[in-house]
Amino acid sequence: MAAGAAPLVTPDGRYIVVRGRLWRRADPALPPDRRAALVADLMEARRSVASARRARDAAAEAAAHAAVDRAKRALGERGPAWWTDGAPDLTRHLARTTPYADWFAGQAPRL
């Protein structure tokens, strides 16, 4: 995938595909302002992880990782799946080994 290009999204909107692997998307039921605030929190937490690593501060890094996890759970990217039809969560699975395999095989490669 080219830098800045939109990621490939599964037909049901549950996942993006990154290097052939499925990653859960944020809950589409989140209000836009709440989602924006959570994404801002996530980005700040990720910057804190990087800063703590540079400083070799293990305690700060652990706290920053916890903040990343809280933001991702609030977004619906981790924790219980946000869909209600009983379908399993396939996060981290290779798209080619999931029910999305035929769809994925028909997608044009993204650089």
Q: What is the pLDDT of residue 108?
A: 78
Q: Please answer whether residues 65 and 48 qualify as being in contact, where contact means their C-beta atoms are separated by less than 8 angstroms.
A: no
Q: What is the pLDDT of residue 23?
A: 97
Q: What is the pLDDT of residues 42-67, one digit of tens each?
A: 999 999 999 999 999 999 999 999 99
5 pLDDT tier (thresholds 50, 70, 90): confident
DSSP secondary structure string, 1-50?
--TTPPPEE-TTSSEEEETTEEEEPPPTTS-HHHHHHHHHHHHHHHHHHH
DSSP secondary structure string, 35-96?
HHHHHHHHHHHHHHHHHHHHHT-HHHHHHHHHHHHHHHHHHTSSSS-S--S-PPP-TTSBGG
Q: What is the pLDDT of residues 58-102, one digit of tens each?
A: 999 999 999 999 999 999 999 999 999 999 999 999 999 999 999
**With 70 as the cut, is the pLDDT of residue 110 above it?**
no
